[in-house]
Protein backbone atom coordinates (compact mmCIF):
# COMPACT_ATOMS: atom_id res chain seq x y z
CA UNK A 1 0.00 0.00 0.00
CA UNK A 2 2.85 2.43 0.85
CA UNK A 3 4.42 1.71 -2.55
CA UNK A 4 1.06 2.50 -4.17
CA UNK A 5 0.87 5.88 -2.35
CA UNK A 6 4.28 6.95 -3.64
CA UNK A 7 3.21 6.13 -7.18
CA UNK A 8 0.32 8.53 -6.82
CA UNK A 9 1.62 11.87 -8.12
CA UNK A 10 -0.82 13.86 -6.00
CA UNK A 11 0.34 12.23 -2.79
CA UNK A 12 3.98 12.92 -3.61
CA UNK A 13 3.18 16.55 -4.42
CA UNK A 14 1.32 16.90 -1.14
CA UNK A 15 4.18 15.35 0.85
CA UNK A 16 6.74 17.66 -0.79
CA UNK A 17 4.51 20.67 -0.17
CA UNK A 18 4.19 19.76 3.51
CA UNK A 19 7.98 19.43 3.86
CA UNK A 20 8.51 22.84 2.25
CA UNK A 21 5.88 24.45 4.51
CA UNK A 22 7.42 22.92 7.67
CA UNK A 23 10.84 24.18 6.59
CA UNK A 24 9.48 27.67 5.93
CA UNK A 25 7.75 27.70 9.32
CA UNK A 26 11.01 26.75 11.05
CA UNK A 27 12.82 29.52 9.17
CA UNK A 28 10.09 32.05 10.15
CA UNK A 29 10.47 31.08 13.80
CA UNK A 30 14.25 31.51 13.60
CA UNK A 31 13.78 34.96 12.02
CA UNK A 32 11.27 35.89 14.72
CA UNK A 33 13.88 35.13 17.39
CA UNK A 34 16.29 37.50 15.63
CA UNK A 35 13.59 40.20 15.73
CA UNK A 36 12.87 39.78 19.47
CA UNK A 37 15.44 42.42 20.40
CA UNK A 38 13.88 45.82 19.87
CA UNK A 39 16.05 48.81 19.13
CA UNK A 40 14.51 52.13 20.15
CA UNK A 41 15.32 54.68 17.45
CA UNK A 42 13.74 57.64 19.20
CA UNK A 43 14.47 57.48 22.93
CA UNK A 44 12.05 59.77 24.74
CA UNK A 45 11.68 60.87 28.32
CA UNK A 46 9.54 63.60 29.80
CA UNK A 47 10.50 66.13 32.44
CA UNK A 48 6.89 67.21 32.85
CA UNK A 49 3.71 65.33 32.05
CA UNK A 50 0.29 66.80 32.74
CA UNK A 51 -2.05 64.33 31.10
CA UNK A 52 -5.79 63.74 31.20
CA UNK A 53 -7.18 60.51 29.83
CA UNK A 54 -10.72 60.44 28.53
CA UNK A 55 -11.80 56.90 29.40
CA UNK A 56 -15.34 56.55 28.12
CA UNK A 57 -15.33 53.17 26.43
CA UNK A 58 -14.27 49.80 27.78
CA UNK A 59 -12.13 48.30 24.99
CA UNK A 60 -10.80 44.83 25.70
CA UNK A 61 -7.66 43.02 24.60
CA UNK A 62 -8.70 39.48 25.44
CA UNK A 63 -9.97 39.70 29.03
CA UNK A 64 -7.88 42.77 29.87
CA UNK A 65 -8.91 46.37 29.44
CA UNK A 66 -6.57 47.96 26.94
CA UNK A 67 -6.65 51.43 28.55
CA UNK A 68 -5.59 50.17 31.99
CA UNK A 69 -2.35 48.91 30.48
CA UNK A 70 -1.76 52.29 28.82
CA UNK A 71 -2.49 54.20 32.02
CA UNK A 72 -0.21 51.95 34.05
CA UNK A 73 2.58 52.24 31.45
CA UNK A 74 2.42 56.04 31.42
CA UNK A 75 2.37 56.22 35.23
CA UNK A 76 5.34 53.84 35.43
CA UNK A 77 7.32 55.79 32.82
CA UNK A 78 6.87 59.22 34.42
CA UNK A 79 7.71 57.74 37.81
CA UNK A 80 10.91 56.13 36.48
CA UNK A 81 11.91 59.43 34.83
CA UNK A 82 11.16 61.41 38.00
CA UNK A 83 9.03 63.69 35.85
CA UNK A 84 6.86 66.34 37.39
CA UNK A 85 3.50 64.97 36.49
CA UNK A 86 -0.17 64.98 37.11
CA UNK A 87 -2.16 62.22 35.45
CA UNK A 88 -5.94 62.34 35.68
CA UNK A 89 -8.22 59.65 34.28
CA UNK A 90 -11.86 60.60 33.66
CA UNK A 91 -14.21 57.59 33.70
CA UNK A 92 -17.60 57.98 32.06
CA UNK A 93 -20.02 56.12 29.84
CA UNK A 94 -19.62 52.34 29.73
CA UNK A 95 -16.19 52.54 31.44
CA UNK A 96 -17.55 54.17 34.61
CA UNK A 97 -18.44 50.86 36.30
CA UNK A 98 -14.72 50.07 36.57
CA UNK A 99 -14.28 52.36 39.58
CA UNK A 100 -17.16 51.08 41.72
CA UNK A 101 -16.87 48.87 44.81
CA UNK A 102 -17.51 45.13 44.79
CA UNK A 103 -21.18 45.28 45.75
CA UNK A 104 -22.01 47.91 43.14
CA UNK A 105 -19.96 46.11 40.51
CA UNK A 106 -21.81 42.85 41.19
CA UNK A 107 -25.22 44.55 40.97
CA UNK A 108 -24.36 46.44 37.77
CA UNK A 109 -22.57 43.62 35.97
CA UNK A 110 -24.86 40.83 37.25
CA UNK A 111 -21.96 38.81 38.68
CA UNK A 112 -20.78 37.70 42.11
CA UNK A 113 -17.03 38.10 41.59
CA UNK A 114 -16.60 41.65 42.85
CA UNK A 115 -14.70 44.29 40.91
CA UNK A 116 -11.82 42.48 39.16
CA UNK A 117 -10.16 45.80 38.24
CA UNK A 118 -9.83 47.25 41.75
CA UNK A 119 -6.35 45.79 42.30
CA UNK A 120 -4.84 47.39 39.20
CA UNK A 121 -6.75 50.63 39.82
CA UNK A 122 -5.40 50.79 43.37
CA UNK A 123 -1.88 50.18 42.05
CA UNK A 124 -2.35 52.99 39.52
CA UNK A 125 -3.57 55.36 42.25
CA UNK A 126 -0.51 54.42 44.35
CA UNK A 127 1.61 55.72 41.46
CA UNK A 128 -0.09 59.10 41.86
CA UNK A 129 -2.76 58.86 39.18
CA UNK A 130 -6.04 60.58 40.06
CA UNK A 131 -9.14 58.61 39.06
CA UNK A 132 -12.36 60.57 38.57
CA UNK A 133 -15.80 59.37 37.59
CA UNK A 134 -18.15 61.66 35.74
CA UNK A 135 -20.70 62.99 38.24
CA UNK A 136 -23.45 62.91 35.61
CA UNK A 137 -22.72 59.26 34.83
CA UNK A 138 -22.70 58.43 38.57
CA UNK A 139 -26.05 60.20 39.06
CA UNK A 140 -27.50 58.45 36.02
CA UNK A 141 -26.52 55.10 37.57
CA UNK A 142 -27.79 56.16 41.04
CA UNK A 143 -24.30 55.84 42.54
CA UNK A 144 -23.22 57.79 45.58
CA UNK A 145 -19.71 58.18 46.92
CA UNK A 146 -20.21 55.03 49.01
CA UNK A 147 -20.54 53.02 45.77
CA UNK A 148 -17.04 53.99 44.61
CA UNK A 149 -13.64 52.54 45.35
CA UNK A 150 -11.77 54.35 48.12
CA UNK A 151 -9.64 57.25 46.88
CA UNK A 152 -11.88 58.12 43.93
CA UNK A 153 -12.74 61.82 43.46
CA UNK A 154 -15.98 62.71 41.66
CA UNK A 155 -16.08 65.57 39.14
CA UNK A 156 -19.14 67.57 37.98
CA UNK A 157 -19.24 65.87 34.61
CA UNK A 158 -16.71 64.46 32.16
CA UNK A 159 -17.14 67.10 29.44
CA UNK A 160 -16.65 70.04 31.80
CA UNK A 161 -13.66 68.45 33.57
CA UNK A 162 -11.94 67.48 30.31
CA UNK A 163 -12.45 71.01 29.00
CA UNK A 164 -11.07 72.52 32.21
CA UNK A 165 -7.93 70.38 32.21
CA UNK A 166 -7.30 70.93 28.51
CA UNK A 167 -7.59 74.71 29.03
CA UNK A 168 -5.06 74.36 31.87
CA UNK A 169 -2.57 72.86 29.40
CA UNK A 170 -3.06 69.14 30.03
CA UNK A 171 -2.43 66.81 27.11
CA UNK A 172 -5.59 64.88 26.32
CA UNK A 173 -5.43 61.18 25.45
CA UNK A 174 -8.55 59.34 24.34
CA UNK A 175 -8.95 55.76 25.50
3-state secondary structure 32-88: HHHCCCCCCCCCCCCCEEEEEEEECCCCEECCEEHHHHHHHHHHHHHHHCCCEEEEE
> Of 7-21, 32-46, 57-71, 124-138, where does the model show the most confidence?
124-138
Across the range 36-62, mean pLDDT stands at: 89
CB atoms closer than 10 angstroms to residue 66? 14
What distance in Å separates the CA atoms of residue 147 and residue 105, rounded to the nearest whole number? 9
0.85 exceeded by the pTM? no
What is the pLDDT at residue 19? 46
Closest CA to 128 of 82, 93, 174, 66: 82
d(CA 118, CA 13): 57
% of the chain with per-residue pLDDT over 70: 80
- Cβ atoms of residues 148 and 154 within 8 Å: yes
Q: What pLDDT, in 10s, does the model give residues 2-30?
A: 455 445 554 444 344 444 444 444 555 55
Helices and strands of the chain, counted as H and E runs = 7, 6
CB neighbours of 20 closer than 8 A, spacing ≥ 6? Answer: none
Amino acid sequence: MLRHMFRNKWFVALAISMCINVGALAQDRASAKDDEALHIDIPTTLEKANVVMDFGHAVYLGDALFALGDINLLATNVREWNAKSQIVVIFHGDAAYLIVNDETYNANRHVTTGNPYKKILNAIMEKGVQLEPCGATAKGNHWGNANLLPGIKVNVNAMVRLTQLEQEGFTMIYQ
